[in-house]
Amino acid sequence: MTKDVILSIRELDLRFNLRGRVLNALRGVSLDICRGESLAIVGESGSGKSVLCKALIGLTDANGYIAGGEIIYNGKDLVKLKEDSDWHAIRGGKIAMVMQDPMTSLNPLITVGEQIAEAVRLHQGLRGAEAEKAALDYLKDVGIPEPERRFRQYPHEFSGGMRQRVVIAIAIACRPEILICDEPTTALDVTIQAQILRLLRAAKEKYRLTTIYITHDLGVVANVADRVAVMYAGDLVEIGLCEEVFYDPRHPYTWALLASLPRPGDKGSRLYAIAGAPPNLFQEIRGDAFAPRNPKALKIDFIERPPYFEVSPTHKARTWLLDPRAPKAEPPESIRRTGGPAL
Amino acid sequence: MRGEEGTPLLEVKNLNVTFGGRHCKTAAVNGVSFDIRKGETFGVAGESGSGKTTIGRAIVRVVPVTSGEVRYKGERISGKIPRSLDGKIVRAIQMIFQDPMSSINERAKVGYIVSEGLYNIKGVSPAERQRKTVMALTEVGLLPEFTGRFPHEFSGGQRQRIGIARALVMEPELIIADEPVSALDVSIRAQVLNLLLQLQKERGLTYLFISHDLSVMHYICDRIAIMHRGVFVELADTERLYKNPLHPYTKALLSAIPVADPRAEKQKKLFVYNPEIHDYSTYKPQWNEIEPGHFVLAAERELDKYREICLQHNYREGI
C-alpha cells in the first residue's frame, strides 16, 4: 500500500473532568491512517477506542478536552476547531460514523427514506425528487428488499440488521472520505453480523472509502481489517498489518488477547486468562500500562514507558521486550501452536 | 465424555410456552424435547428471539409452561407442584444471568446479595449463612472481606463472579447459565469460563448453557441444540455438530462464526439460511434421531438425504 496519509493523529492526549478528578482517556496516541485502507482498532471496554474515534469527528463529551497533540486532516488541525459550525464541514461530509446500536441511532418519527434523503440534501445539494431518487438508490445499494415500499416505512418496521443497513446507507449518502464504524455488529446476531460486514466491505470498494472499525471482537477484525491497532489503557500498544498482528504478535497484551480466545480443539483445557484488571486511568501511569498484569514484565516496564520498536516497516509495538537488550520472551504456547507462519 | 450413563437429571418433554392473550398469541417455545444428563454441559444456541432464554426461564418456573412437562430426577416440576418439592427445586436449580450490571441489586451489599437465597430456607442460622457466603465467595475467587462492599465497587468480571457465587451458595446441582459471558470482555470472559469449568469439575455441576456465541459453546459444551424460531432444528454432540451439521440453519449459523484468523476469515464462505427451501406443505417436519444421539428436524423426504450425508461422513471419519 502506498503511504498516502489521509488522517494523521499525533501525540493525542484526551482527558475528562469527572467530579474534580481528571481521567486520562487517551495518553499520547499517534496513528497515521492511509487513504483507502481498512483499519481496525481493537481493545477492551474502557481502553479508549470509542473516545479516540469520537475525537476525530468532534463529538467528545462536554466534560472532555484535548490536552495536547493534533489531528491533521487535509493539512488542517482538527483539534483547533472549536465551534460546532466549523465541524459541520467535516462531520458527516468528510468523516462519517456508523454507531453501535441501530435501535437508537435512527429517528423513530421520520420515515427511513426521509432520513437518507436528508443526508443527500445536506451533503450532495440535491433537491426534491432528485434527492429522493438518490436516497432510494442508496437503500437499494445496502441490499434492502423491496426498497420502494421500505422507503416509506418507519424504523420500527425494520429488524435490527435492516436498521443497521439503513444507518450505513445514511452514512454513505453523506459521501464521506472516511467511514468510522463503532462496533457496527455488536448488537446483531452472528448470521446478520456476517452479512453486514460483507456489505461494509462492498461499500468500501464501491465508494472508495477509508474505513476505521472499532471493535472488541477479534473475529470481526480478522474479517475486515487490512491493518490492526491494539489499544490498551488509552494507548496503542501494537500496530501492524492484519497478518502481522495475528500471526506474529509482539506485545504481551496482544499475546494475552489472542490466547484468551477459545479455539476449536481446546475443549476442556484451561483458557489463558489475563490476571487482574485494567489500570485506573485517574492515576498517572508509570512505565508500561500492562506491566502489572504481565507475569513476564521486566523491571524497566515499571519505570519507563517503552517507545515504539519497529518489527517491520509496517509493524511496531510499544514494549521493552523488543529492545535488543531485553531477554528473549516467547508468546504463550497456545498462540504459537495455532498461529500461521510468520510473514 | 462427561455424564454418559444413568437416568437424565432433567427431562423436558414437548415443552410449549406461549405468550400473549387471545388476540396476540406468540409461541416462544414450540414443542421442544431434550434430556440433560448429570455432569454434562448442555448448550442451547440460537439467534435473539429464538426462544432459548424462555426455555431456561420455564425450567426455573419464572414463566409458566403452556403445555408439556419438565421432569427433574423423574419428578414433574412444571405446572402445579407441592410446596416441599418447590423448595427443593429452588435450591437444586439456580440461574446465572447475562448482564452483571443489571442483574444485581445495586443497593444491597455483596454479603446480602450472595446469601439472599438462604433466608428462604428454614433452619439456616445467621452464623451458618455467613459461613456459606464466605465459602461461595472464596470459591469464585473473591475475598471474604468483599461482603461489606456494594456492587458498584466491582468491575464487570467481578460482578459476574458475584452472580455465580449467589447461585453456588444454594448448593445447586443444575445451573442454568443464560449468556453468562456475552457481556464480558475477551480477557475477563476467559477467567469466567475457566471458573465455570473448574466448578463443574470440583462440584460435579450440570450446566444448561444458553448462548449465541458458537465459538464459546464449542469450547464449553458437551452437547448442543440449535434453536430457530421456537423449535429445535438439530441436537448432537458438540464435535459431531461442528463436523457434520445436517440442518441448513445449523450450517448457516456455523458458517457465520467469526474466527480470529485473517486468512481463514477472508476466504470464508457464508451460507445464508432460507426457510423456504423446506417444503413442509404436505409432510410436516418431525424430530428424528438420525443416528444415535444426533437429532434433526426434518420431513420424511429430507431424512433420506441426511442419512446419506451421515453415512458418508462416518465413512470418511472411519466410524
| A318 assigned to some structural domain | yes
Identify which of A192, A247, A262 has the shortest CB distance to residue B193: A262
Q: A263 and A140 in one domain?
A: no
Q: What phi and psi values does residue A133 have, to the nearest 5 degrees?
A: -65, -45
Confidence at residue A341, expressed as pLDDT on a 0 to 100 scale: 40
| A170 assigned to some structural domain | yes
Chain A CB contacts of B186 under 8 Å are: 44, 216, 218, 257, 260-261
To which CATH superfamily is domain B10-277 assigned? Answer: P-loop containing nucleotide triphosphate hydrolases (3.40.50.300)
The domain that contains A126 carries what CATH number? Answer: 3.40.50.300
Contact at CB, A267 and B186, closer than 8 angstroms: no
Say whether residue B269 is in contact with chain A using an 8 A CB cutoff.
no
Kindly report the number of other CB atoms within 10 A of residue B59's CB atom: 24
Output the pTM of the full model.
Answer: 0.86
Shortest CA gap B77–chain A (Å): 31
Do A69 and A13 form a contact (C-beta atoms < 8 A)? yes
SS3 call for A24 = strand
Question: What number of CA atoms fall less than 13 Å from residue B143's CA on the CB side?
Answer: 5
Expressed in percent and rounded to 5, the helix, strand and coil fractions of chain A are: 35, 25, 40
Domain boundary among A183, A206, A225: A225
Q: DSSP assignment, residue B86? A: H
Residues 6+ apart with CB under 8 A from A262: A271, B190, B193, B215, B216, B218, B219, B220
Q: A248 and A217 in one domain?
A: no
Shortest CA gap A32–chain B (Å): 22
Q: A324 and A181 in one domain?
A: no
Contact at CB, A257 and B191, closer than 8 angstroms: no
Q: A202 and A73 in one domain?
A: yes
Spatial CA neighbour of A6 closest among A163, A211, A166, A283: A211
Shortest CA gap A340–chain B (Å): 9
Spatial CA neighbour of A44 closest among A256, A243, A321: A256
Chain A CB contacts of B191 under 8 Å are: 273-274
Tell me the sheet residues that pair with A243: none
Q: Write the DSSP string, A36-80.
A: T-EEEEE--TTSSHHHHHHHHTT---TTEEEEEEEEEETTEEGGG
Shortest CA gap A46–chain B (Å): 10
Cell of A95: 468523516
Contact at CB, A260 and B186, closer than 8 angstroms: yes
pLDDT in tens, B50-63: 899 999 999 999 89
Confidence at residue A336, expressed as pLDDT on a 0 to 100 scale: 61
Contact at CB, A260 and B190, closer than 8 angstroms: yes
Domain boundary among A176, A194, A225: A225
| A343 assigned to some structural domain | no
SS3 call for B193 = helix
Q: A295 and A194 in one domain?
A: no
Say whether residue B182 is in contact with chain A using an 8 A CB cutoff.
no
Q: A276 and A142 in one domain?
A: no
SS3 call for B299 = coil
Tell me the sheet residues that pair with B288: B296
Find residues 19-48 of chain A whose CB sits inside 8 Å of chain B.
Answer: 44-45
Say whether residue A82 is in contact with chain B using an 8 A CB cutoff.
no
Element housing A315 (H / E)? strand A315-317
Furthest-apart CA atoms within chain A: distance in Å: 68
| Residue with grid cell 523491571, as numbered in its chain | A299
Identify which of A192, A223, A340 has the shortest CB distance to residue B258: A223
Choose the weakest-confidence range: B9-13, B28-32, B75-79, B275-279: B275-279
Q: Quick one: closest CA in B to A244, which residue?
A: B262
Q: A144 and A50 in one domain?
A: yes
Q: How would you classify the pairing of strands B10-19 and A315-317? A: unpaired
| Euclidean distance between CA atoms B259 and B151, whole angstroms | 34
Q: Write the DSSP string, A182-220.
A: ESTTTTS-HHHHHHHHHHHHHHHHHTT-EEEEEES-HHH
Contact at CB, B157 and A277, closer than 8 angstroms: yes
Do A253 and A288 form a contact (C-beta atoms < 8 A)? no
> Which of B41, B261, B267 to probe by mutation at the A interface, max A CB count within 10 Å?
B261
* A287-312 as b/e: b if 16+ CB within 10 A: bbbbbbbbeebbebbeeebbeebebe
Q: A242 and A304 in one domain?
A: yes
Say whether residue A195 is in contact with chain B using an 8 A CB cutoff.
yes
Contact at CB, A193 and B156, closer than 8 angstroms: no
Chain B CB contacts of A216 under 8 Å are: 185-186
Cell of A221: 477484525
CA distances from A133 to A35, A118, A130, A143 (A): 29, 12, 5, 16
Say whether residue A3 is in contact with chain B using an 8 A CB cutoff.
no
Residue A189 amino acid letter = D
343 residues of chain A, pLDDT tens digit each: 457 899 999 999 999 998 889 999 999 999 999 999 999 999 888 888 889 999 999 888 889 999 999 999 988 899 888 888 888 888 888 999 998 888 888 999 999 999 999 999 999 999 989 999 999 999 999 989 899 999 999 999 998 889 999 999 999 999 999 999 998 888 788 888 888 999 999 999 999 999 999 998 898 999 999 999 999 999 999 999 999 999 999 999 999 888 888 876 667 678 888 877 778 888 888 888 888 888 888 888 898 899 999 999 999 999 998 888 888 777 777 666 554 443 3
What ranges do the domains of chain B cover? 10-277
| Residue with grid cell 445447586, as numbered in its chain | B172
Do B207 and B179 form a contact (C-beta atoms < 8 A)? no
Find residues 79-138 of chain B whose CB sits inside 8 Å of chain A.
Answer: none
Q: A260 and A208 in one domain?
A: no
Element housing A132 (H / E)? helix A128-141
Q: DSSP assignment, residue A91? A: B
Cell of A88: 459541520
Say whether residue A191 is in contact with chain B using an 8 A CB cutoff.
yes
ipTM surpasses 0.85: no
Spatial CA neighbour of B280 closest among B293, B297, B266, B264: B297
Which alpha helices (DSSP H) does chain B contain, by range? 52-59, 83-92, 110-115, 126-139, 156-168, 186-203, 214-220, 238-243, 248-255, 262-267, 300-317
Chain B CB contacts of A218 under 8 Å are: 186, 258, 260
State the average pLDDT over residues B91-115.
91
Q: DSSP assignment, residue A35? A: T
Do A236 and A318 form a contact (C-beta atoms < 8 A)? yes
Contact at CB, A219 and B259, closer than 8 angstroms: yes
Contact at CB, B270 and A194, closer than 8 angstroms: yes
Residues 6+ apart with CB under 8 A from A224: A38, A40, A197, A200, A201, A211, A213
Contact at CB, B260 and A221, closer than 8 angstroms: yes
Say whether residue B253 is in contact with chain A using an 8 A CB cutoff.
yes
pLDDT in tens, B212-255: 888 899 999 999 999 999 999 999 999 999 999 999 999 999 99
pLDDT of residue B129 exceeding 90, the answer is: yes
| A113 assigned to some structural domain | yes
Q: A240 and A160 in one domain?
A: no
Q: Which domain holds residue A74?
A: 5-225
How many separate domains does chain A show?
A: 2
Q: What phi and psi values does residue A252 have, to the nearest 5 degrees?
A: -55, -30
Domain boundary among A160, A194, A225: A225
Q: A177 and A156 in one domain?
A: yes
Residue A244 amino acid letter = E
Q: A57 and A200 in one domain?
A: yes
Size of interface A-B (CB pairs under 8 A): 119
